[in-house]
Structure 1
Amino acid sequence: MKVSIGTPPVDIYGTADTASNLVWTPCVPCNDNCFKQIHPLFDPKKSSTYSEISCHSEKCHQVWDIEGRCSPQNSCIYSYGYSSGLSQGVLAKEKATITSTSGQAVSFDIAFGCGHNNTLHSDVQATIGLGSGPLSIVSQIGSKRFSYCLLPYGTEYTDPSITSKISFGNGSEVVGDGVVSTPFVAGDQYFVTLEGISVGDTYVSFNSSGKASKGNMCIDSGTPTFALPPDFYDRLEVEVKKQIPIDPIKDDPNLGTRLCYRTKITNENGPILTVHFEGADVELKPIQTFNQPLKEYEYYCFGITNTANTELASMGDQGIYGNYVQANFLIGFDLETRMVSFKPTDCTKL
């Protein structure tokens, strides 16, 4: 997602992340941990509209929940962690600009993190928090709803002129034939309830010992993975194996414990998975649930993963519904009705 900040404006390109709230970008100076970027870093000294936010302000308290952390100059110091690293720096106020669907530039003031110590290793420059917390871009522009349509993985390499789409406010509603909706629970992220997954016609429940707990699945546009707790994943994998008439690869050190095949899994030889959210069934075809993780090898692996023995293990009985399986759906978030909606869509055509 592209946002311009500063005066004169500087384009920053960030991951649109529904599982976080802060908007931040690497800034000059950036320490030795900062991952080398394709695009120039934002230099606050070159912007006439940049100002640091006081550590005694309400905005700073929103970062830290209770009290702000102060720099020697009484500026607000932030530290924001992710499963893959963290960003630390100064919370600042700046002019931001995005382009409307009519092509007009829309400007607004925004509190954002100017990161001077960033340990996330990514070629994406910034993070644009889309959560429902007070510091997310959604809340700061006063929007009550937004939607996006993500391209299938790899589309940007075959046709760079096609991009994913995101829309805020009026006109971003997800309506029409095929729309299904599920509620998200209270909090500043979008946790919905996953009741189970059907493999073909066989239902596998989320919880083998009873009803699934509310808010067990985070809708996360900033993470590729569809990750499930170990017990649920193991039962799901057993059923997927049963329904694919091909022997999986065994004892390959490149693959670890992943379920992979030497034959491409397609709509002809693989099962359709139906994800049963509370009140909403989302159908995933094999092209969405199997991928080729290493392009130099003819391996085709199950794209749903197990949280065990990963950085997601601390989630316990919760999981992540990542961006890989969100592709080719128009997905809408309504902060007033607290609903997430899904509509099957060819995102390359929007």
Structure 2
Amino acid sequence: MTYRGQKSMVPLQSFYPYLAIIFLLFHVLHLSSIEAQNDGFTIKLFRKTSNNIQNIVQAPINAYIGQHLMEIYIGTPPIKITGLVDTGSDLIWIQCAPCLGCYKQIKPMFDPLKSSTYNNISCDSPLCHKLDTGVCSPEKRCNYTYGYGDNSLTKGVLAQDTATFTSNTGKPVSLSRFLFGCGHNNTGGFNDHEMGLIGLGGGPTSLISQIGPLFGGKKFSQCLVPFLTDIKISSRMSFGKGSQVLGNGVVTTPLVPREKDTSYFVTLLGISVEDTYFPMNSTIGKANMLVDSGTPPILLPQQLYDKVFAEVRNKVALKPITDDPSLGTQLCYRTQTNLKGPTLTFHFVGANVLLTPIQTFIPPTPQTKGIFCLAIYNRTNSDPGVYGNFAQSNYLIGFDLDRQVVSFKPTDCTKQ
């Protein structure tokens, strides 16, 4: 067994209503790891418009109960797939018929037999040979197994098909021989809107590694809408050239590589609650926070968490809820309007990122009315912290793997 990157995804079913699941290990154990070859693609590029507007490859993303879903099209004819957006893992996979042990999804599963461009990867293929622990089926297909830290699991066959994306000009961009997992046995904490998962890590099988070099570099940007935003409201993810985060208000922090890791780690120096600063434990070192769109809350080392928790409690004028056992040790308040709590500033190396209550206080369940809880939790082990998707909302965030930086720009993502 080997690691190919990290995975910290805590899916909705793990976050609601059983918040204790958040404390599970977020490391992903990639029981098999896969490598793709970019030179295997054929790309159908759109023409430039007459006014020379730059064409940027994009995909819509929507919020759904603590996670974010991206739209891509797979197959010929193309079938719309909505996959969980996850910067904490690499493999792209979708649920495929026939599915012997799959979670429920509201839309029909992708049927490989109905796509004229679908191909299973053979055991003899160089792609399959690059698996650290490749498994050959009796039919000589390249099988895969991919696991996550919350015990979710996908099993299936490594495959290629045509993938289609849109652009800022509305023109389609099609890529043949797009590598992904066709999952025939998928279990764990996935919701019924998730038809699979879009791995956006830095590993060779991720979406960025497969398409980035073809469109101007391994870089992408995302703008995640806040929790409970209407699923009909879309923001966007942009890839390659033109996806850089630029302009006034942009702050940038370096990515810090970790051995055998393909996820996005940065260094947190400390956190300010209003004007009160709490430093990160100096013994923890660099690469102490994972920027992960697949985990909803923020996870902090115990020592820093205790200080931030106490100071936030001191700053909120309301009385915390103490008579609801279902809330456990969470810091929660009853209010019929958005909580008027303190701002928090995350001090990364070279970048101060301000968070308001819309990013730090979240209802304990999607159905709960009039209760808001601090969406920051403690880590009782030595693993790095997690900068989850609640905190990432309403920021245009750019991941530039070529320059090895992450950039943040305050943005109303509901208007992107």
Give the TM-score normalised by structure 1: 0.91
The one-letter code matched in structure 2 to 1:102 is T
Tell me, in whole angstroms, the C-alpha distance in 2 between the residues paired with 1:203 and 1:211: 18
Amino acid at match of 1:6: G
Partner of 1:228: 300
What are the Cα deviations for residues 218-253 of structure 1, in whole angstroms up to 9, with x where unaligned?
Answer: 111122121112222122111111222222111421
2:313 to 237, 241, 263: 241
How far apart, CA to CA, are the structure 2 residues paired with 1:344 and 1:264? 26
Q: Secondary structure at the match of 2:359?
A: helix
Aligned partner of 1:275 among 329, 346, 365: 346
Deviation at 1:37, TM superposition (A): 0.8
Alignment correspondent of 1:2? 71
1:258 corresponds to 2:324: no
- Counterpart of 1:148 in structure 2 is 222
Distance of aligned partners of 1:284 and 1:12 in 2 relative to their CA distance in 1, 3 Å threshold = same
Q: Secondary structure at the match of 1:232?
A: helix
- Which one of 143, 147, 159 corresponds to residue 92 of structure 1? 159
Task: Give the match's secondary structure for 2:414.
Answer: helix
CA contact (8 A) 1:329 1:344 kept: yes
- 1:56-98 deviation digits (Å, cap 9, x = unpaired): 4443355x4x342211122211111123311111101111111
Listed one character per residue, the Cα deviations across residues 194-240 of structure 1 (whole Å, up to 9, x for unaligned) are 11110011111221xx2541111111112212111222212211111
Q: How does 1:132-211 map to 2 (within 5 A)?
A: 132-141=202-211, 142=213, 143-157=217-231, 160=232, 162-186=233-257, 187-207=261-281, 210-211=282-283
Task: Provide the rounded CA distance (Å) in 2 between the counterparts of 1:15 and 1:296.
Answer: 23
Task: Give the letter aligned to residue 241 of structure 1.
Answer: R
SS at match of 1:241: helix
Deviations along 1:169-207, whole A, 9 cap, x unmatched? 111110110000111122311111111110011111221
Which secondary structure does the structure 2 equivalent of 1:45 belong to?
Answer: helix
1:125 aligns with 2:195: yes
Whichever residue aligns with residue 36 of structure 1, its letter is: K
| 2:120 matched residue in structure 1 | 52
Could you tell me which of 287, 293, 296 is aligned with 2:358? Answer: 287
2:89 maps to which residue?
A: 20
4+ aligned runs moved over 4 Å, structure 1: 264-267
Partners of 1:133 and 1:211 in 2: CA distance = 28
Q: Kindly provide the amino acid, as one letter, of the partner of residue 99 in structure 2.
A: C
- Superposed CA RMSD: 1.8
Measured at CA, do residues 199 and 58 of structure 1 come closer, stay the same or move farther in structure 2, by a change above 3 Å?
A: farther
AA aligned to 1:166 is: M
- Please list the CA deviations of residues 3-26 of structure 1 after superposition, one character each: whole Å capped at 9, or x if unmatched: 111112111111121111111000
What SS is found at the alignment partner of 1:155?
coil
Are 1:336 and 2:406 matched, yes or no? Answer: no
Indicate how the Cα distance of structure 1 residues 70 and 329 shifts in structure 2: closer, same or farther if over 3 A, else same: same
Query: How far off its partner does 1:257 sit?
Result: 0.8
Instruction: Verify the 8 A CA contact 1:265 1:286 in the aligned structure 2.
Output: no
Shift, 1:105, TM fit:
1.0
Contiguous gaps of at least 5 residues in structure 1: none
In 1, Cα distance between the equivalents of 2:191 and 2:277?
A: 37
Q: Which runs of 5+ in 2 are unaligned?
A: 1-69
Q: Distance in 2 between matches of 1:216 and 1:42?
A: 38
Give the distance between the partners of 1:219 and 1:119, measured in 2 at CA: 25
Could you say what secondary structure the match of 2:390 adopts? Answer: coil
Aligned to 1:83: 149
State the secondary structure of the residue aligned to 1:156: coil
Alpha-carbon distance between aligned partners in 2 of 1:153 and 1:67, rounded to the nearest angstrom: 38
Matches of 1:204 and 1:265, distance apart in 2: 29
Q: How has the CA–CA distance of structure 1 residues 47 and 154 changed in structure 2, closer, same or farther, with 3 Å as cutoff?
A: same
TM-score normalised by length of structure 2? 0.77
1:320 alignment partner AA: V
The alignment status of 1:299 with 2:367, answered yes or no, reads no
Structure 1 residues 164 and 307: alpha-carbon distance in aligned structure 2, compared to 1, 3 A threshold: farther
Measured against aligned partners, the alpha-carbon deviations of 1:312-340 in whole angstroms (never above 9, x if no partner) come to x6xx2311111111111000011111000
